[in-house]
Amino acid sequence: MEGVVDHTMRELLTRIGGISRCVTEFVRVTTHTLPKKVFYRFCPELHTNGCTTNGTPVYVQLLGGNAELMASSALVAANLGAPGIDINFGCPAKTVNRNDGGSVILKEPNRVFNIVSSIRRAVPQNIPVTTKIRLGFSDRGLLREISQAIFDANASELCIHARTKEDGYKPPAHWEAIAAISEISPIPIIANGEIWNVKDYHRCVSQSACTDVMLGRGALSFPDLARQIQSSGVTPRLAWLEILDLMVNFSRVTEEVYESKHVANRIKQWLSYLRREYVQADKLFKQVKRLKRPEEIATSIDAHRSQSIYKPIVVNL
Ligand SMILES: Cc1cc2nc3c(=O)[nH]c(=O)nc-3n(C[C@H](O)[C@H](O)[C@H](O)COP(=O)(O)O)c2cc1C
């Protein structure tokens, strides 16, 4: 997720467990073939076989409308050891769509075909080329045609975010609309959208007729959601104090990568997602929201932690 799930967050989440694959933030391809340094920036895991520390593969996600440049850029990423190339046809952002990238391409299934097939032909066969779409741009009218274009282009997988571009991120996600595609698909279909807890996961797989899902915001608000899904709820959930430990560590790691103000913003951003699942996150968010320096935030987390630890009541007899 652009601006949210960079390599530091991928490392944190994959260490918890339950995640079988990650995708980078989208990398835009506009006027030229992207140089190596861009891919190393978006995917530092390329230095370690394209995997996070616990061996979770990270596919490089490309976004753009020029099939030739997308293909030549995909080849650069593949040559650097990307374990897979993912193509983004889902981004709803106006600036992205205006520049011929993301969900706007769903209006023209033949262009979806050209982009996917060009990339498929460019990168070695052993490297999966996966795709991510929405149900359509303004409606679902072209969903079958878009999906067929992706099958015909020999993509390895198709992930469907169960909303149109017009829907934005508005709930609900229409998981049942994915079923029409999973029932006819020759390739694995991955369902995505509005999976915030284990119950949502079960409802999503049953309505979409998929066996695999992609987690978006839910992975941030409920960091062990993938592990909970995989262990069928047998593993105990992460306690708030454990989340705080992860946060302190996350702050240390991001300090090595970003300027101070960005570190503070990353922590606040994660806290704002966590608020959905943990009431304590809301309290902590209010305490830190005006702080700018990571040291101030660390002090605030420490104070919050000591308030959160259960203190036995001493009774004087
Ligand atoms: C801030 C933000 C950034 C995102 N960036 C990307 C991205 O770079 N690539 C991508 O495929 N999807 C991106 N998405 C979409 C999510 O991957 C996901 O498809 C969407 O949020 C629906 O899933 P959810 O309801 O579980 O969050 C982004 C979503 C958000 C909210």
Tens digit of each residue's pLDDT (9 = 90 or more) over 136-185: 999 999 999 999 999 999 999 999 999 999 999 999 999 999 999 999 99
Nearest residue (by CA) to ligand 1, atom 16, is 216
The response to whether residue 193 sits with its C-beta less than 6 Å from ligand 1 reads yes
User: How far is it, in rounded angstroms, from Cα 220 to Cα 275?
Assistant: 10
Q: What is the pTM of this model?
A: 0.96
User: How far is it, in rounded angstroms, from Cα 269 to Cα 9?
Assistant: 12
Tens digit of each residue's pLDDT (9 = 90 or more) over 99-118: 999 999 999 999 999 999 99
Distance of CA 169 from the midpoint of ligand 1 (Å) = 9
Class of domain 240-308: mainly alpha
Q: What is the mean pLDDT of residues 185-201?
A: 98
The response to whether residue 101 sits with its C-beta less than 6 Å from ligand 1 reads no
Q: What is the mean pLDDT of residues 230-249?
A: 94
Strand, coil or helix: what is 132?
strand
Cα-trace Rg, the chain: 21
Percent residues over pLDDT 90 in the chain:
95
- The encoded tokens of residue 155 equal 């993509």
Q: Are 116 and 131 in contact (CB under 8 A)?
A: yes
Strand, coil or helix: what is 79?
helix
pLDDT at residue 308, rounded to an integer:
81
Distance of CA 216 from the midpoint of ligand 1 (Å) = 5
Domains 20-214 and 240-308 share a fold: no
The response to whether residue 42 sits with its C-beta less than 6 Å from ligand 1 reads no
Give yes or no for residue 316 having a pLDDT over 90: no
Q: Are 10 and 220 in contact (CB under 8 A)?
A: no
The response to whether residue 18 sits with its C-beta less than 6 Å from ligand 1 reads no
The response to whether residue 4 sits with its C-beta less than 6 Å from ligand 1 reads yes
- The encoded tokens of residue 160 equal 């469907």
pLDDT band for position 233 (cuts 50, 70, 90):
confident
Q: By C-alpha distance, which of 74, 171, 155 is closest to 112?
A: 155
The response to whether residue 2 sits with its C-beta less than 6 Å from ligand 1 reads yes
User: Which residues, listed in sequence order, are joined to residue 88 by a DSSP beta bridge?
Assistant: 132
> What's the burial of 269, exposed, middle or buried (CB within 10 Å: 0-12/13-18/19+)?
middle
Strand, coil or helix: what is 214?
strand
Instruction: For residue 304, give every residue at least 6 positions away whose Cβ sits within 8 Å of its Cβ, in sequence order, or none.
Output: 244, 280, 283, 284, 287
Which positions are annotated as active-site residues? 91
The atom of ligand 1 lying closest to the CA of 24 is 8
The atom of ligand 1 lying closest to the CA of 25 is 8
Phi-psi region of 80 (alpha: psi -120 to 50; beta: other; left: phi over 0): alpha
What CATH number does the domain located at 20-214 have?
3.20.20.70
The angle that helices 143-152 and 175-182 make with each other, rounded to 10 degrees, is 40
pLDDT at residue 310, rounded to an integer:
57
Instruction: Tell me which of 1, 163, 208 to substitute to probe ligand 1's pocket, judged by most ligand atoms within 8 Å of the beta carbon.
Output: 1
User: How far is it, in rounded angstroms, from Cα 223 to Cα 205?
Assistant: 20
Q: Are 99 and 62 in contact (CB under 8 A)?
A: no
Domain ranges of the chain: 20-214, 240-308
Nearest residue (by CA) to ligand 1, atom 7, is 1
Exposure class string for 151-165: b at 16+ Cβ within 10 A, else e: bebebbbbbbbbbbb
